[in-house]
């Protein structure tokens, strides 16, 4: 899961045989016939859902986690987009799906790597000192000698540094803009500062002790040299600027290197192509670790259910399409590329999108995306149909006596581009770097005051640090949703 602005041991897969189902003869239906037909579809969906739930398990999916761990171990400790580790992970998923009978394809696209050789920020006056700084990923470089200029502080509004109004309280021409992180993207903040005349941007964090880590999706997004500092340093510079001029020196030297990476897309051979049930998980890790929870867990869970579905049918009522995205950790690049290359007609054919990112966190909470915004937290509701997706998942968890609560559509994972395109979405999540509350510890178990995943984006995100119980629960959620939606979309309204 991306930050907001998220083989050895491989076993051979026994080939699976897809069962073709003859298409029924269509006849005109009376209202009673239609009602009876709907009942038959619903029973068919429930039967497939029960079969998939029974056969799909954490035990079965664990072999895929072992494969991902082995791939990372053999490739520098990670499976990051554009690396041999991700390429091997993609090949592993592709091979199993092809053997199972799916129509499988790679979707290649370009990503950019950033190699920073210099990142330095100094206060020149009135109180000279060095500050800990992180160069923005894919930031423009400064001249070799850096840029020296006074700071101008962007207004801290409800959308800090996001709108032109935030740059009217000071003269920004020829200065370095100081901006608080939050709400809009890093790219939007520095672009607004550049439009106001700034020659550089320093974005300070909105929480914690670490520097903000600005990132752009591609080099063209960077308008001015941009770097990140901590909340404490940002607030100290803001306070100093209220007393008089503050002059900084910022030096960023960075190389931008294009690479090719790929999504893996698999769909059933049959099913109504005008009604596509789409599901996805990102397959890439961060460079710092193997990414077994983030997001080997979602990738393995999706693969487990896809392989079990192939045992029963390649000809469901509705076409089922599975995707393993790349470049999520770089800014949802794979899912964004996929959605943007769809024609308007193709978008309309996608009935819904289900996302599974981090479903085995070691200090887990069972979180369901809040499609109807009933929690009134953060972003608003998803597109029409998202509320019904949430209900299908929560009703299932209730029947299984599994506690759960909502989580906001905050744009941190691959549902984001689908929501922007107006496609209803949903899914589950067991938490990232957020801190578990005492109430959540009472409800879900685990430790209060500790991150849902203490190994988030770190080397420790490995096979030893996952929760198999929550992994199993969320695989059941995937299985149930696939079984129902493969044959019956009537609950979407």
Q: How far is CA 145 from CA 119, 139, 193, in A?
A: 12, 16, 22
d(CA 420, CA 103): 27
How many CB atoms are located within 10 Å of the residue 39 CB?
Answer: 10
Per DSSP, which regions of 326-442 are E strands? 350-356, 367-369, 405-407, 425-429
Residue 269 exposed, middle or buried by CB count within 10 Å (0-12, 13-18, 19+): middle
- Dmax (CA) of the chain: 84
d(CA 91, CA 421): 29
d(CA 308, CA 306): 5
Name the phi and psi angles at 178, rounded to 5: -105, 120
Tokens 């101008």 appear where?
A: 152
Burial letters for 59-76: b for 16+ Cβ neighbours within 10 Å, e otherwise?
A: ebbbbbbbbbbbbbbebe
Q: How far is CA 29 from CA 32, 316, 358, in A?
A: 8, 21, 45
The closest of 253, 244, 233, 246 to 124, measured between CA atoms, is: 246
**CA of residue 381 relative to chain centroid, distance:** 18
Residue 82 exposed, middle or buried by CB count within 10 Å (0-12, 13-18, 19+): buried
**DSSP 8-class letter at 455:** T
Task: Establish whether 328 is a catalytic residue.
Answer: yes
Active-site residue, selected from the candidate residues 119, 304, 328, 366: 328
d(CA 112, CA 66): 29
Q: What share of the chain is helix, strand, coil (3-state, %, to 5)?
A: 35, 25, 40
Positions annotated as catalytic residues are: 328
């Amino acid at each position: 899961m991306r930050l907001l602005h998220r083989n050895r041991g491989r076993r051979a897969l026994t080939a699976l045989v897809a069962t073709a189902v003859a298409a029924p003869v269509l006849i005109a239906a009376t209202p009673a016939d239609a009602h009876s037909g709907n009942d038959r579809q619903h029973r068919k969906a429930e039967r497939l859902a029960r079969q998939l739930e029974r056969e799909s398990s954490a035990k079965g999916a664990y072999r895929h986690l072992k494969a991902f761990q082995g791939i990372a171990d053999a490739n520098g400790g990670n499976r990051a987009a554009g690396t041999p580790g991700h390429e091997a992970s993609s090949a592993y998923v592709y091979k199993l799906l092809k053997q199972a009978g799916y129509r499988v394809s790679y979707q290649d696209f370009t990503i950019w790597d950033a190699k920073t050789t210099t990142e330095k920020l100094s206060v020149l006056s009135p109180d000279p000192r060095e500050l800990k700084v992180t160069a923005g990923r894919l930031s423009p470089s400064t001249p070799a000698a850096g840029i020296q200029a006074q700071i101008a502080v962007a207004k801290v509004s409800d959308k800090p540094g996001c709108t032109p109004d935030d740059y009217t309280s000071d003269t920004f021409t020829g200065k370095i803009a100081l901006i608080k992180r939050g709400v809009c993207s890093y790219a939007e903040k520095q672009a607004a500062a550049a439009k106001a005349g700034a020659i550089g941007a320093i974005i300070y964090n909105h929480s914690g002790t670490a520097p903000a880590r600005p990132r752009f999706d591609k080099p063209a997004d960077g308008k001015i040299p941009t770097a990140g500092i901590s909340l404490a340093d940002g607030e100290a510079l803001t306070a100093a600027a209220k007393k008089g001029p503050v002059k900084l020196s910022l030096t960023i030297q960075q190389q931008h290197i294009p690479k090719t990476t790929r999504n893996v897309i698999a769909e059933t051979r049959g099913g109504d192509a005008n009604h596509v049930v789409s599901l996805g998980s990102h397959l890439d890790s961060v460079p710092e670790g193997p990414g077994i929870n983030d997001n080997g867990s979602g990738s393995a869970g999706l693969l487990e259910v896809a392989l079990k579905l192939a045992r029963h049918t390649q000809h469901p009522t509705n076409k089922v399409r599975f995707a393993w995205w790349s470049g999520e950790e770089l800014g949802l690049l794979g899912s964004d590329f996929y959605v943007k290359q769809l024609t308007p007609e193709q978008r309309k054919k996608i009935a819904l999108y289900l996302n599974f990112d981090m479903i085995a966190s070691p200090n887990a909470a069972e979180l369901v995306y809040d499609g109807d915004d009933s929690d009134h937290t953060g972003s608003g509701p998803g597109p029409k149909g998202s509320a019904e997706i949430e209900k299908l998942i929560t009703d299932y968890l209730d029947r299984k006596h599994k506690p759960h609560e909502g989580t906001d559509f905050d744009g941190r994972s691959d549902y984001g581009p689908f929501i922007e395109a107006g496609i209803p979405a949903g899914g589950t999540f067991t938490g990232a770097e957020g801190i578990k509350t005492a109430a959540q510890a009472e409800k879900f178990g685990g430790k209060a005051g500790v991150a849902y995943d203490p190994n988030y984006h770190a080397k420790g995100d490995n096979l030893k640090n996952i929760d198999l119980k929550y992994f199993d629960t969320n695989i059941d959620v995937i299985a149930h949703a696939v079984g129902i939606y493969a044959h019956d979309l009537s609950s979407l309204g």
